[in-house]
Structure 1
Amino acid sequence: MIKLSSLFSLLGIVLLQFGCANSQPTQKPNIIFILVDDLGYGDVGFNGSQYYETPNIDQLASESLIFDKSYMYPTCSPSRTALFTGKQSFRTGVYTVPVLEKGDAEENVFSRWTLSREHPIYSEALQGLGYQSIHLGKWHIVGPYPQAELAMEWPIDHKLSQPDPGDFSWVANHKSAEVRAYYPEGRGFEKNVGGTFRGDPAFEKGGYSSENGGYRAPFSNPFIDPKPNDEWLTDRLTNEAISHMKRNKEGPFFVNLHYYTVHRPIKSRNETLYKHFMDKSGDPASGQGMGKGKETMAAYATMIASLDENIGRILQYLDEEGLRENTLIVFSSDNGYNGGQSSNHALRGAKGEIYEGGVRVPTFFNWPGKIQARRSEIPIQVVDYYPTFLDVAGLGPKTSEDGISLKPIFKEEVEQLKERPIFWHLASINKHGTCSAVLVGKYKLIQFLKDGQIELYDLEQDPLETKNIAETKTEIREELLQSLLQWRQENQVPLPPNSILEF
């Protein structure tokens, strides 16, 4: 197994070589970044779903570079912060969704919510390169009370809170010049449609139990101006995306299309679709559309079908305008599926968990003529998007503090990168205890921070992570553990106060 220090040196050489080979100036491409909320690895046809229907997504994926080992954090807040900055969670202090944390200040390093201005995000760099950028949908990197949060002395001794659904007392402050500096318009985007502190669309009284749930018009989101033809939130966000592309079709444009779907609350797109999925046989292999959760999964299936329809609309527009050839389309999800609304018997865990079902997501990159369509076993991680976007936009071979540009592998595999280490650090409690983890090749090691307990899995032989081989594969365990300890020590990664570990 390749040593960590040697691998980092190798990554630098690979990036330098490919950067020199591709240094000729070209027309800046358009970029569309489609990020779905809570869409599981197995919730799409191109990853094997037999129940959910995604024909447009599947067709696009067949023409794309699909990453079989694409990893996020297990919840949205750290994933989105890492996406925007190219930095791991310990650098920004965002470990999970603050309101989901459990336990006290001895057990947790409580999470921040607002991404401070000291951390630049990719849209700011793209703005400097002449990109006309729009943010659509979920933002979630500003807290509900940002001034108070930013004034706190960190670490704090309690978790942060948010207003109840139906409480709009925060809106005036969030539309002030001071707070809008933390909103899309203050971070390189020319327009924000629907982005706020909140992680779901159900702003109205009743929240998830309300009739509309934020998905059906009239929308309760104070950062979406009502329009007469409003009907369904996913449609509206797509309408805005296409309008932005029309206004800026001479390019370059950047569309940050971060759909709220398929996050809870689960709402049926319409009765016709709902009946179709209720009548459709479920899939025993995945558990999708089966058992007591049939009604919820049928409604969830309508939301996925709506997502697929809207991606089809975007592709149709790009084709009609002749924009596909100069447009990079990136498709992914911010974490694994929510266990209460879908199923995947092939992977352990779900949203909130460090196991594969919580962190492995469906991902592909599409760029006709610039990307070789295939499935890749090279592992990629959430911090790679920032340097990739900047590299594609013309800033040359880039790394962020923690990620690398994926552009060198658009055309061909770089075999050495298959052994690249992928790290996670979860310093606050959500679904399980605090932990760090490292993935190298087919092996994944998890160390729980409270007591140092080790779990080791061979994902090739045991994708369900059912057999902890830490006591039998001792050499592998020690090598991965040392790389994890070295990573934490060199980066001064904070541990919860109750941890028995030195670093």
Structure 2
Amino acid sequence: MHLVRSLLFAGALFTASSVSGADRPNIIFILADDLGWTDLGCQGSTYYETPHIDRLARGGLRFDAFYMSQNCAPTRACLMSGQYAPRTGLYTVSTLERGKAEDRRMHVPKNETLLTLKVKTVADVLKSAGYATGMFGKWHLGHEQGFHPADRGFDEALRSNGRHFKIRTDPPTDVPEDQYFADWLTERGVDFIARHRDESFFLYLPHFAVHSPYQAKDEYVKRWESEPGVGGHNNPVYAAMIQSVDGSVGAVMAALERHGIADNTLVIFSSD
């Protein structure tokens, strides 16, 4: 949705062998899932509260005219490859041939479900430049052998391929039943930052939130149930999910400050 070019530009810029490790910034990309254009304070919402994302917007650059395919797998293919959908072949999730063939108003090309191995990912490029690379969250670019994040340039990866209703992690990992999944993924990312704070790193943190099913922490939901809605912004559970994603951004920024590397880190937030 936003801020795509800055990540791809960073991937191209900092592969130059003439740039020393000390001069190369860390890169963090946080991706929300199905977050609406007006669902942030910095985008004009007076109902949802996103102080950490708003702070990021105030202190950095806002790219509001750069677009990719605006749903799950195609977005991730664009981000990882630097290519638009006509080149990756990923136009939508699963198949384009839905419903009755005679009711379709246009004929569409074949839809791919995997990001071809002919394409190097931004993680491949950064890893070859000496970056530590980590990915924790929704992958959605292929669950077949050879297409996992670990096969596409990530040194460390904990992913699920897009199962929102029954999360399956690879590698198999015990997730505490009483912990909100966005918080758990954030903890993995913050731990990655701590372990690689003395070297250049690329952290990709693609959340499952705020995609359905709409589930949020009880204490957040209770808070939003007492807030009056504003127009179409009136769902306490959805607001609580946004609060958790915003909290993830805040936790990542706090980790960078804690380790003294905030000034040498490019942080990018976007959504599909």
TM-score (norm 1): 0.47
Aligned equivalent of 1:282: 229
Q: CA deviation at 1:100?
A: 6.3
Give the alignment of 1:268-417 within 5 angstroms.
268-270=216-218, 272-284=219-231, 287-289=232-234, 297-334=235-272
Instruction: Say which of 189, 193, 198 aligns to 2:154.
Output: 189
1:70 partner SS: coil
Query: Out of 53, 64, 69, which is 1:57 matched to?
Result: 53
Contact 2:134 2:202 in 1 (8 A): yes
CA contact (8 A) 2:69 2:84 kept: no
Number of aligned positions between the proteins: 253
* Cα shift at 1:108: 2.8
- Equivalent pair of 2:158/2:171 in contact (CA under 8 Å): yes
Shift of 1:330: 0.6
In the other structure, the counterpart of 2:116 is 116
- The amino acid across from 1:79 in the alignment is T
- For residue 202 of structure 1, what is the aligned residue in structure 2? 165
Give, as a single letter, the amino acid of the residue that structure 1 aligns with 2:221: Y
Higher relative contact order (CA 8 A, sep 6+): 2
Amino acid at match of 1:279: S
Partner SS for 1:66: coil
> Percent of pairs identical after alignment?
35
| Contact 2:180–2:216 under 8 Å retained in 1 | no
Structure 1 residues 50 and 259: alpha-carbon distance in aligned structure 2, compared to 1, 3 A threshold: same
Counterpart pick for 1:259 among 200, 207, 212: 207
Q: Is the 8 Å Cα contact of residues 241 and 257 (structure 1) preserved in structure 2? A: yes
Q: Deviations over 1:66-87 (max 9, x none)?
A: 1222322132221111111111
Q: Work out whether 1:81 is the aligned partner of 2:81.
A: no
Q: Offset at 1:260?
A: 0.9
The 1:101–1:255 alpha-carbon spacing in structure 2 relative to 1, beyond 3 Å, is farther
SS in 1 for 2:29: strand
Change over 3 Å in CA distance of 1:259–1:221 after alignment to 2:
same
Letter in 2 for 1:25: V
Gaps of 5+ in 2: 1-8
Distance of 2:171 and 2:26 partners within structure 1: 25
State which drifts further: 105-114 or 184-193.
105-114
Query: CA 1:227–1:78 in structure 2 vs 1: closer, same or farther (change >3 Å)?
Result: closer
Distance 2:67 2:124 in 1: 24
Q: Deviations over 1:308-328 (max 9, x none)?
A: 112111111111110101100
Mapping for residues 127-146 of structure 1, pairs under 5 Å: 127-142=127-142, 146=144
Tell me if the contact between 1:36 and 1:259 (Cα under 8 Å) persists in the aligned partners.
yes
1:140-155 map, 5 Å: 140-142=140-142, 146=144
Q: In the superposition, relative to structure 1, how do residues 91 and 275 fare at CA in structure 2: closer, same or farther (>3 Å)?
A: same
RMSD: 2.4
Q: Once the 2 structures are TM-superposed, how far is the Cα of residue 200 of structure 1 from its aligned partner?
A: 3.8
Q: Is contact 1:77–1:140 with CA below 8 Å preserved after alignment?
A: yes
> How many angstroms does 1:91 deviate by?
1.8
Give the whole-Å Cα distance in 2 for the aligned partners of 1:313 and 1:128: 28
Q: Whole-Å Cα distance in 1 between the matches of residues 18 and 201 of structure 2?
A: 21
8 Å CA contact 2:68, 2:84 repeated in 1: no
Contact conserved, 2:17 with 2:129, CA < 8 A, in 1? no
- Contact 2:136 / 2:206 at 8 angstroms: preserved in 1? yes
User: 1-side partners of 2:72 and 2:54: how far apart?
Assistant: 24
Aligned to 2:191: 243
Structure 1 gaps of 5+ residues are 1-14, 147-178, 204-213, 215-219, 290-296, 335-503
Task: Extract structure 1 runs of 4+ deviating beyond 6 A.
Answer: none
Q: TM-score under structure 2 normalisation?
A: 0.85
Tell me the SS of whatever aligns to 2:212: coil
Give the aligned residue type for 1:201: H
State the distance in 1 between where 2:193 and 2:220 align. Answer: 29
In structure 2, distance between residues paired with 1:100 and 1:301: 31
Q: Quick check: which has more Rg, 1 or 2?
A: 1
Distance 1:202 1:113 in 2: 20
Distance change >3 Å, CA 229–CA 112, structure 1 → 2: closer
**Cα 1:279–1:226 shift into 2, 3 Å:** same
CA–CA distance in structure 2, aligned partners of residues 86 and 30 of structure 1: 19
